[in-house]
């Protein structure tokens, strides 16, 4: 979805919780991605955002305000997921 919508303003930031960088680097060799990945080795981000499960997705509008959040996997590439992203990016 990032590749499809990045030119329209979609940003994706993945936060890795507690895993060592070497493990993340190994995963990225097998699963290359084009969005940003940041490390949270001391769980500061997970505490600040009260992450209790992964994945947790926060949707932030262009104005920086929280639009919504989702815990667990969602079919972002499905037709409904694409319609949602289209609507959010049109705002």
Query: pLDDT band at residue 70, thresholds of 50, 70 and 90?
Result: very high
Check whether 91 has a pLDDT greater than 90: no
Four-point Cα dihedral 71, 74, 80, 81, nearest 10: 80
Q: Give the Cα separation of 59 and 25 in Å (integer).
A: 26
- Average pLDDT for residues 1-8, to the nearest whole number? 90
pLDDT at 40: 93
Query: pLDDT band at residue 56, thresholds of 50, 70 and 90?
Result: very high
Full-prediction pTM beyond 0.85? Answer: no
DSSP class of residue 6?
G
């Amino acid at each position: 979805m990032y590749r499809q919508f990045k030119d329209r303003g979609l940003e994706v930031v993945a936060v890795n919780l507690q895993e060592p960088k070497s493990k993340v680097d190994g995963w990225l060799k097998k699963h290359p991605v084009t969005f940003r990945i940041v490390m949270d080795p001391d769980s500061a981000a997970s505490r600040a955002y009260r992450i209790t499960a992964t994945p947790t997705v926060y949707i932030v509008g262009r104005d920086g305000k929280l639009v919504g959040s989702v815990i667990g996997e969602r079919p972002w590439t499905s037709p409904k997921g694409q319609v949602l992203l289209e609507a959010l990016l049109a705002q």
